[in-house]
Amino acid sequence: LSYIAVIADAQNISRAAEQLYISRPALNHYLVSLEKELGFPLFKRVQKRMIPTEAGAVYIQSAKEILEIKRQAYKAIDEINNCETGCLNIGITRVMGADMFHRVFPRFHKKYPNYTVHLLEGNVNELEESCLAGEIDFAFMGQSSIQSQLEHIVFSPCEILLALPVSHPFAKMAAPENLPYHTLDLELLKNDSFVLMSKATRIRTLADYHFMKAGFFPKIILETSLSSMAYEMVCQEVGPSILMESAIKDKSKAACFSLNPREQWKQSIAYRKGTIFTKAEKYFTELAKEYFEGLV
């Protein structure tokens, strides 16, 4: 099952053999023998690429599910034996997740010094796919899509705001600090040039939805995957942006408004149904939750 799963991911017998530390002829012989036993081909050979057949796709999916059941069973057995060694297979977003990890991991390492980490960085879409594929056990990420097939532990709601440079003509309409945010009609900003998050982010999807409701598509002077950069561009009076409240470090440097209707961004831990969390993993998630809730 492992051999077939690796061949499917590598799409090449030679690369799969290297990853499995066996010879190419041995792996090819195994595959040919299995296909003969099953009575149907698992792969089509197309210009040195191994493309799953329809039957092969079913076999591969089942193989991966069986291997995942085995891995979860071993985790449960390790937990029973109070195993103090292991590996965290986790995913994080490149900005908020990375900030969380470099603050939380030293505390985790102090309690579990024999644990190693397989860390995957990506946007929400990439992390969801990696979780579903079994490449990671769980991911710390922002709001997931409604189509997500993953389970979620949701916490730390954070409002999404329209942020204007303090020199902007409409900045004076913002509520005083420590009072509830006023709303501002986006249509009033149709002639502005915006600094927006990149199209790969969910915040950008929400922003585009609000622009569509306002009846215009904005001129974009800068797109970035870094909320910290977008915030700095607002502070430097480059243009307005739409950001998470937690990204706005100093509200005296930006005039902030709620969207209409108001939008909340929720941090979550995403995982496959049936995932077993070890004591070490539970401890790490508790530290992460504590960190994110401290930002609100």
Helices 2-10 and 13-20 cross at an angle (nearest 10°) of 130
Give the pLDDT of residue 22. 92
Give the pLDDT of residue 221. 96
> Mean pLDDT in the chain?
89
Which tops the pLDDT comparison, 183 or 177? 183
Give the pLDDT of residue 76. 73
Residue 215 has pLDDT above 90, yes or no: yes
Give the pLDDT of residue 164. 97
Which residues 6+ apart lie within 8 Å of 265 measured at CB?
A: 142, 143, 157, 158, 159, 160, 203, 244
Looking at the whole model, is its pTM more than 0.75? Answer: no
DSSP string, the chain: -HHHHHHHHH-SHHHHHHHHTS-HHHHHHHHHHHHHHHTS-SEEEETTEEEE-HHHHHHHHHHHHHHHHHHHHHHHHHHHTT---EEEEEEE-TTHHHHHHHHHHHHHHHH-TTEEEEEEE--HHHHHHHHHTTSSSEEEES---TT--SEEEEEEEEEEEEEEETTSTTGGGSPPTTSPPPB--GGGGTTSEEEEE-TTSHHHHHHHHHHHHHT---EEEEEES-HHHHHHHHHTTS--EEEEGGG-S-GGGEEEEEEEEEEEEEEEEEE-TTPPPPHHHHHHHHHHHHHHHTT-
Percent of the chain with pLDDT over 90: 58
Which tops the pLDDT comparison, 46 or 164? 164
Please, which pLDDT band fits residue 145 given cuts at 50, 70 and 90? Answer: low
Residue 53 has pLDDT above 80, yes or no: yes
Residue 143 has pLDDT above 70, yes or no: no
226-269 confidence digits (pLDDT tens): 888 999 999 999 999 999 888 898 989 999 999 999 998 888 89
> Comparing 51-55, 129-133, 148-152, 253-257, which segment has the lowest mean pLDDT?
148-152
> Comparing 22-31, 138-147, 152-161, which segment has the lowest mean pLDDT?
138-147
Stretch 43-69: mean pLDDT: 90
Residue 184 has pLDDT above 80, yes or no: yes
Please, which pLDDT band fits residue 60 given cuts at 50, 70 and 90? Answer: very high
Give the pLDDT of residue 172. 95
